[in-house]
Structure 1
Amino acid sequence: MRQRLGIAAALLGDPGVIMLDEPSNGLDPEGIVWIRTLLRRLADEGRTVLVSSHLMNETASFADQLVVLGRGRLLADTPMREFIDARVRPAVRVRTSDPTALRTALARHGHDVVEDPDGHWTVPDARVDDIGRLASAARVPLLELTADEGTLEQAYLDLTAAETEFAAQPQEA
Protein backbone atom coordinates (compact mmCIF):
# COMPACT_ATOMS: atom_id res chain seq x y z
CA MET A 1 0.00 0.00 0.00
CA ARG A 2 2.93 2.35 0.68
CA GLN A 3 4.10 1.99 -2.95
CA ARG A 4 0.61 2.74 -4.27
CA LEU A 5 0.26 5.72 -1.97
CA GLY A 6 3.61 7.12 -3.12
CA ILE A 7 2.61 6.76 -6.76
CA ALA A 8 -0.76 8.39 -6.11
CA ALA A 9 1.01 11.32 -4.41
CA ALA A 10 3.36 11.69 -7.37
CA LEU A 11 0.38 11.92 -9.74
CA LEU A 12 -1.55 14.54 -7.72
CA GLY A 13 -0.24 17.49 -9.70
CA ASP A 14 -1.06 15.80 -13.04
CA PRO A 15 2.60 15.92 -14.18
CA GLY A 16 3.71 15.49 -17.78
CA VAL A 17 6.84 13.67 -16.65
CA ILE A 18 6.76 10.93 -14.03
CA MET A 19 9.95 9.44 -12.55
CA LEU A 20 9.67 6.26 -10.51
CA ASP A 21 12.40 4.27 -8.78
CA GLU A 22 11.66 0.55 -8.45
CA PRO A 23 7.86 1.08 -8.56
CA SER A 24 6.97 -2.62 -8.31
CA ASN A 25 9.19 -3.25 -5.28
CA GLY A 26 7.23 -4.91 -2.50
CA LEU A 27 4.06 -5.32 -4.56
CA ASP A 28 2.15 -8.57 -4.74
CA PRO A 29 1.37 -10.06 -8.20
CA GLU A 30 -1.89 -8.11 -8.42
CA GLY A 31 -0.05 -4.89 -7.55
CA ILE A 32 2.61 -5.58 -10.19
CA VAL A 33 -0.09 -5.97 -12.86
CA TRP A 34 -1.72 -2.78 -11.57
CA ILE A 35 1.51 -0.75 -11.80
CA ARG A 36 2.31 -2.16 -15.25
CA THR A 37 -1.15 -1.17 -16.50
CA LEU A 38 -0.92 2.26 -14.89
CA LEU A 39 2.47 3.03 -16.40
CA ARG A 40 1.31 1.95 -19.86
CA ARG A 41 -1.84 4.10 -19.54
CA LEU A 42 0.18 7.14 -18.46
CA ALA A 43 2.52 6.73 -21.43
CA ASP A 44 -0.45 6.27 -23.79
CA GLU A 45 -1.79 9.61 -22.52
CA GLY A 46 1.37 11.23 -23.85
CA ARG A 47 3.24 11.55 -20.57
CA THR A 48 6.91 10.74 -20.24
CA VAL A 49 7.33 7.90 -17.76
CA LEU A 50 10.86 7.21 -16.55
CA VAL A 51 11.35 4.04 -14.51
CA SER A 52 14.53 2.97 -12.77
CA SER A 53 14.49 -0.74 -12.02
CA HIS A 54 16.68 -3.79 -11.56
CA LEU A 55 13.76 -6.09 -12.41
CA MET A 56 14.67 -6.26 -16.07
CA ASN A 57 12.19 -8.76 -17.42
CA GLU A 58 9.36 -7.00 -15.56
CA THR A 59 10.49 -3.67 -17.03
CA ALA A 60 10.65 -5.20 -20.50
CA SER A 61 6.96 -6.10 -20.21
CA PHE A 62 5.88 -2.44 -20.34
CA ALA A 63 8.79 -0.25 -21.49
CA ASP A 64 9.21 1.04 -25.03
CA GLN A 65 12.59 2.72 -24.78
CA LEU A 66 15.61 1.57 -22.81
CA VAL A 67 18.40 3.68 -21.35
CA VAL A 68 21.32 1.89 -19.71
CA LEU A 69 23.81 3.90 -17.67
CA GLY A 70 27.07 2.59 -16.26
CA ARG A 71 30.10 4.25 -14.69
CA GLY A 72 28.57 7.61 -15.49
CA ARG A 73 28.34 6.77 -19.20
CA LEU A 74 25.41 6.17 -21.50
CA LEU A 75 25.74 2.53 -22.58
CA ALA A 76 22.49 2.30 -24.54
CA ASP A 77 19.53 4.46 -25.56
CA THR A 78 17.37 2.47 -27.93
CA PRO A 79 13.94 0.90 -28.38
CA MET A 80 13.57 -2.12 -26.08
CA ARG A 81 13.08 -4.75 -28.80
CA GLU A 82 16.00 -3.42 -30.88
CA PHE A 83 18.28 -3.61 -27.84
CA ILE A 84 17.36 -7.24 -27.22
CA ASP A 85 17.43 -8.34 -30.86
CA ALA A 86 20.86 -6.77 -31.40
CA ARG A 87 22.40 -8.77 -28.55
CA VAL A 88 20.58 -12.08 -28.31
CA ARG A 89 20.42 -14.53 -31.20
CA PRO A 90 16.90 -15.66 -32.07
CA ALA A 91 16.19 -19.36 -31.87
CA VAL A 92 13.30 -21.76 -32.28
CA ARG A 93 12.38 -24.54 -29.89
CA VAL A 94 10.91 -27.54 -31.71
CA ARG A 95 9.80 -31.11 -30.97
CA THR A 96 8.61 -33.73 -33.42
CA SER A 97 7.53 -37.35 -33.57
CA ASP A 98 9.76 -37.80 -36.66
CA PRO A 99 13.25 -36.53 -35.72
CA THR A 100 14.97 -38.05 -38.76
CA ALA A 101 12.70 -36.26 -41.23
CA LEU A 102 12.96 -32.97 -39.35
CA ARG A 103 16.75 -33.14 -39.13
CA THR A 104 16.95 -33.85 -42.86
CA ALA A 105 14.61 -30.96 -43.72
CA LEU A 106 16.48 -28.55 -41.47
CA ALA A 107 19.91 -29.61 -42.79
CA ARG A 108 18.68 -29.22 -46.40
CA HIS A 109 18.00 -25.55 -45.61
CA GLY A 110 21.27 -24.95 -43.73
CA HIS A 111 19.94 -25.17 -40.17
CA ASP A 112 21.85 -26.88 -37.39
CA VAL A 113 20.09 -28.17 -34.30
CA VAL A 114 21.07 -28.43 -30.68
CA GLU A 115 19.49 -31.41 -28.96
CA ASP A 116 18.38 -30.73 -25.40
CA PRO A 117 18.16 -33.48 -22.76
CA ASP A 118 14.38 -33.06 -22.35
CA GLY A 119 13.75 -34.12 -25.97
CA HIS A 120 13.26 -30.78 -27.70
CA TRP A 121 15.63 -29.22 -30.18
CA THR A 122 16.84 -25.65 -30.45
CA VAL A 123 17.41 -24.23 -33.91
CA PRO A 124 19.74 -21.23 -33.52
CA ASP A 125 19.41 -18.14 -35.73
CA ALA A 126 15.95 -19.18 -36.89
CA ARG A 127 12.43 -17.79 -36.84
CA VAL A 128 9.25 -19.71 -36.01
CA ASP A 129 7.59 -18.86 -39.33
CA ASP A 130 10.52 -20.21 -41.35
CA ILE A 131 10.81 -23.47 -39.39
CA GLY A 132 7.04 -23.96 -39.47
CA ARG A 133 6.87 -23.53 -43.26
CA LEU A 134 9.89 -25.78 -43.73
CA ALA A 135 8.39 -28.57 -41.59
CA SER A 136 5.01 -28.21 -43.28
CA ALA A 137 6.54 -28.44 -46.77
CA ALA A 138 8.43 -31.58 -45.70
CA ARG A 139 5.24 -32.96 -44.08
CA VAL A 140 7.00 -33.33 -40.73
CA PRO A 141 4.61 -33.48 -37.76
CA LEU A 142 5.46 -30.96 -35.06
CA LEU A 143 4.58 -31.40 -31.40
CA GLU A 144 6.03 -28.04 -30.37
CA LEU A 145 7.13 -24.93 -32.24
CA THR A 146 8.04 -21.94 -30.09
CA ALA A 147 10.06 -18.78 -30.53
CA ASP A 148 12.93 -18.64 -28.07
CA GLU A 149 13.14 -14.87 -27.95
CA GLY A 150 15.91 -13.20 -26.08
CA THR A 151 15.20 -11.42 -22.83
CA LEU A 152 16.24 -8.00 -21.62
CA GLU A 153 18.26 -9.71 -18.91
CA GLN A 154 20.25 -11.72 -21.48
CA ALA A 155 20.85 -8.63 -23.62
CA TYR A 156 21.98 -6.58 -20.60
CA LEU A 157 24.41 -9.31 -19.55
CA ASP A 158 25.78 -9.38 -23.11
CA LEU A 159 26.22 -5.59 -23.10
CA THR A 160 28.00 -5.55 -19.75
CA ALA A 161 29.97 -8.82 -20.03
CA ALA A 162 33.28 -7.00 -20.50
CA GLU A 163 32.58 -4.43 -17.78
CA THR A 164 34.12 -5.69 -14.52
CA GLU A 165 31.99 -3.24 -12.53
CA PHE A 166 28.87 -5.11 -13.64
CA ALA A 167 30.19 -8.69 -13.69
CA ALA A 168 29.62 -11.09 -10.81
CA GLN A 169 32.82 -11.80 -8.90
CA PRO A 170 33.78 -15.47 -8.44
CA GLN A 171 33.36 -16.86 -4.93
CA GLU A 172 36.62 -17.74 -3.20
CA ALA A 173 36.82 -21.21 -1.66
Structure 2
Amino acid sequence: MSRIGKKPIAVASGVTLTIDGQTVKAKGSKGELELTLVPEVTISQGEDGVTVSPVDDSQRARAMWGLSRTLVANMIQGVSEGFSKSLEINGVGYRAQMQGQNLQLALGFSHDVIYEVPEGIQIQTPKPTEIVVSGSDKQKVGQVAAEIRGYRPPEPYKGKGVKYADEYIFRKEGKKK
Protein backbone atom coordinates (compact mmCIF):
# COMPACT_ATOMS: atom_id res chain seq x y z
CA MET A 1 0.00 0.00 0.00
CA SER A 2 1.22 3.46 -0.88
CA ARG A 3 1.48 5.68 2.18
CA ILE A 4 1.77 8.78 0.00
CA GLY A 5 -1.10 7.71 -2.28
CA LYS A 6 -3.50 7.27 0.66
CA LYS A 7 -3.27 10.91 1.72
CA PRO A 8 -5.96 13.23 0.34
CA ILE A 9 -4.76 16.37 -1.45
CA ALA A 10 -6.03 19.62 0.04
CA VAL A 11 -7.01 22.12 -2.65
CA ALA A 12 -5.65 25.56 -1.73
CA SER A 13 -7.97 28.55 -1.69
CA GLY A 14 -7.94 30.38 -5.00
CA VAL A 15 -7.28 27.19 -6.98
CA THR A 16 -9.96 25.69 -9.22
CA LEU A 17 -9.48 22.02 -10.01
CA THR A 18 -11.36 20.44 -12.93
CA ILE A 19 -11.44 16.65 -13.31
CA ASP A 20 -12.57 15.29 -16.68
CA GLY A 21 -11.97 11.53 -16.81
CA GLN A 22 -8.18 11.09 -16.60
CA THR A 23 -7.44 14.77 -17.33
CA VAL A 24 -6.88 17.12 -14.40
CA LYS A 25 -6.71 20.90 -14.87
CA ALA A 26 -5.61 23.31 -12.16
CA LYS A 27 -5.98 27.06 -12.41
CA GLY A 28 -4.65 29.56 -9.89
CA SER A 29 -2.93 32.90 -9.46
CA LYS A 30 0.42 31.64 -10.86
CA GLY A 31 -1.01 30.10 -14.04
CA GLU A 32 -2.77 27.07 -15.41
CA LEU A 33 -1.51 23.46 -15.60
CA GLU A 34 -2.95 20.30 -17.14
CA LEU A 35 -2.10 16.65 -16.48
CA THR A 36 -3.35 13.41 -18.02
CA LEU A 37 -3.17 10.54 -15.54
CA VAL A 38 -2.30 6.95 -16.47
CA PRO A 39 -5.26 4.54 -16.83
CA GLU A 40 -4.11 2.49 -13.80
CA VAL A 41 -5.38 5.13 -11.34
CA THR A 42 -8.65 6.96 -10.78
CA ILE A 43 -9.10 10.42 -9.29
CA SER A 44 -12.09 11.83 -7.43
CA GLN A 45 -12.88 15.02 -5.58
CA GLY A 46 -14.63 15.01 -2.20
CA GLU A 47 -15.19 17.38 0.69
CA ASP A 48 -11.84 16.44 2.33
CA GLY A 49 -9.92 17.07 -0.91
CA VAL A 50 -8.82 15.14 -3.97
CA THR A 51 -8.10 11.42 -3.65
CA VAL A 52 -6.20 9.19 -6.05
CA SER A 53 -6.76 5.43 -5.94
CA PRO A 54 -5.45 2.46 -7.96
CA VAL A 55 -7.82 0.62 -10.32
CA ASP A 56 -6.61 -2.85 -9.23
CA ASP A 57 -3.88 -4.43 -7.10
CA SER A 58 -1.30 -4.85 -9.88
CA GLN A 59 2.32 -3.83 -9.39
CA ARG A 60 2.10 -1.01 -11.98
CA ALA A 61 -1.14 0.38 -10.50
CA ARG A 62 0.44 0.54 -7.03
CA ALA A 63 3.57 2.17 -8.48
CA MET A 64 1.55 4.82 -10.35
CA TRP A 65 -0.67 5.52 -7.33
CA GLY A 66 1.84 7.54 -5.27
CA LEU A 67 3.36 9.12 -8.37
CA SER A 68 0.00 10.37 -9.65
CA ARG A 69 -0.94 11.76 -6.23
CA THR A 70 2.37 13.64 -6.01
CA LEU A 71 2.02 15.03 -9.55
CA VAL A 72 -1.47 16.38 -8.78
CA ALA A 73 -0.26 17.83 -5.45
CA ASN A 74 2.65 19.54 -7.25
CA MET A 75 0.21 20.99 -9.80
CA ILE A 76 -1.93 22.48 -7.04
CA GLN A 77 1.10 23.89 -5.20
CA GLY A 78 2.54 25.22 -8.47
CA VAL A 79 -0.52 27.22 -9.52
CA SER A 80 -1.00 28.63 -6.00
CA GLU A 81 2.56 29.28 -4.73
CA GLY A 82 4.95 28.31 -7.53
CA PHE A 83 8.38 26.71 -7.36
CA SER A 84 11.85 28.21 -7.47
CA LYS A 85 15.46 27.03 -7.59
CA SER A 86 18.50 29.15 -6.77
CA LEU A 87 21.85 28.78 -8.51
CA GLU A 88 25.20 30.25 -7.48
CA ILE A 89 28.11 31.06 -9.77
CA ASN A 90 31.66 30.72 -8.40
CA GLY A 91 34.77 31.73 -10.33
CA VAL A 92 36.78 34.77 -11.30
CA GLY A 93 34.96 36.62 -14.08
CA TYR A 94 31.96 34.26 -14.01
CA ARG A 95 28.67 36.19 -14.00
CA ALA A 96 25.10 36.18 -15.24
CA GLN A 97 22.72 38.91 -16.34
CA MET A 98 19.36 39.15 -18.05
CA GLN A 99 19.50 40.51 -21.58
CA GLY A 100 15.88 41.14 -22.57
CA GLN A 101 14.18 37.73 -22.40
CA ASN A 102 17.47 35.79 -22.52
CA LEU A 103 20.01 34.91 -19.85
CA GLN A 104 23.58 35.87 -20.69
CA LEU A 105 26.23 33.79 -18.90
CA ALA A 106 29.96 34.59 -18.83
CA LEU A 107 31.48 31.27 -17.76
CA GLY A 108 35.10 31.46 -18.87
CA PHE A 109 34.49 30.40 -22.47
CA SER A 110 35.73 32.44 -25.42
CA HIS A 111 32.14 33.60 -25.89
CA ASP A 112 29.16 34.36 -23.65
CA VAL A 113 26.50 31.66 -23.40
CA ILE A 114 23.02 32.94 -24.30
CA TYR A 115 20.21 30.86 -22.76
CA GLU A 116 16.72 31.40 -24.15
CA VAL A 117 14.21 31.26 -21.31
CA PRO A 118 11.31 28.87 -22.09
CA GLU A 119 7.70 29.94 -21.80
CA GLY A 120 6.24 29.74 -18.28
CA ILE A 121 9.62 30.25 -16.58
CA GLN A 122 10.91 33.46 -14.99
CA ILE A 123 14.60 34.03 -14.31
CA GLN A 124 15.96 36.79 -12.09
CA THR A 125 19.57 37.71 -11.38
CA PRO A 126 19.54 39.62 -8.04
CA LYS A 127 23.38 39.60 -8.03
CA PRO A 128 25.74 38.86 -10.92
CA THR A 129 26.68 35.58 -9.20
CA GLU A 130 23.15 34.46 -8.35
CA ILE A 131 20.35 33.10 -10.57
CA VAL A 132 16.78 32.41 -9.40
CA VAL A 133 14.64 30.21 -11.66
CA SER A 134 10.92 30.22 -10.85
CA GLY A 135 7.66 29.03 -12.37
CA SER A 136 4.50 27.01 -11.76
CA ASP A 137 5.66 23.69 -13.27
CA LYS A 138 8.06 21.91 -10.91
CA GLN A 139 9.51 19.67 -13.62
CA LYS A 140 10.19 22.59 -15.97
CA VAL A 141 11.82 24.69 -13.22
CA GLY A 142 14.16 21.82 -12.33
CA GLN A 143 14.95 21.13 -15.99
CA VAL A 144 15.85 24.77 -16.71
CA ALA A 145 18.04 24.94 -13.58
CA ALA A 146 19.80 21.71 -14.62
CA GLU A 147 20.40 23.02 -18.16
CA ILE A 148 21.94 26.25 -16.82
CA ARG A 149 24.10 24.26 -14.38
CA GLY A 150 25.13 21.94 -17.22
CA TYR A 151 26.98 24.72 -19.07
CA ARG A 152 29.71 24.75 -16.39
CA PRO A 153 29.16 22.20 -13.58
CA PRO A 154 31.20 22.82 -10.42
CA GLU A 155 34.63 21.20 -10.40
CA PRO A 156 36.02 19.54 -7.25
CA TYR A 157 39.40 21.32 -6.97
CA LYS A 158 38.53 25.02 -6.73
CA GLY A 159 34.72 24.76 -6.76
CA LYS A 160 34.43 26.94 -9.87
CA GLY A 161 31.24 26.68 -11.90
CA VAL A 162 27.47 26.90 -11.56
CA LYS A 163 25.96 25.05 -8.59
CA TYR A 164 22.63 24.84 -6.80
CA ALA A 165 22.47 27.10 -3.74
CA ASP A 166 21.92 24.13 -1.40
CA GLU A 167 24.46 21.86 -3.13
CA TYR A 168 27.64 20.77 -1.35
CA ILE A 169 30.70 20.35 -3.56
CA PHE A 170 33.04 17.63 -2.29
CA ARG A 171 36.46 19.24 -2.56
CA LYS A 172 39.58 17.31 -3.56
CA GLU A 173 43.13 18.07 -2.58
CA GLY A 174 45.47 19.13 -5.39
CA LYS A 175 48.74 17.52 -6.45
CA LYS A 176 51.46 16.87 -3.92
CA LYS A 177 55.12 17.58 -4.63
* TM-score, normalised by the number of residues in structure 2: 0.32
Normalized per residue, the structure richer in strand is 2
TM-score, structure 1 normalization? 0.33
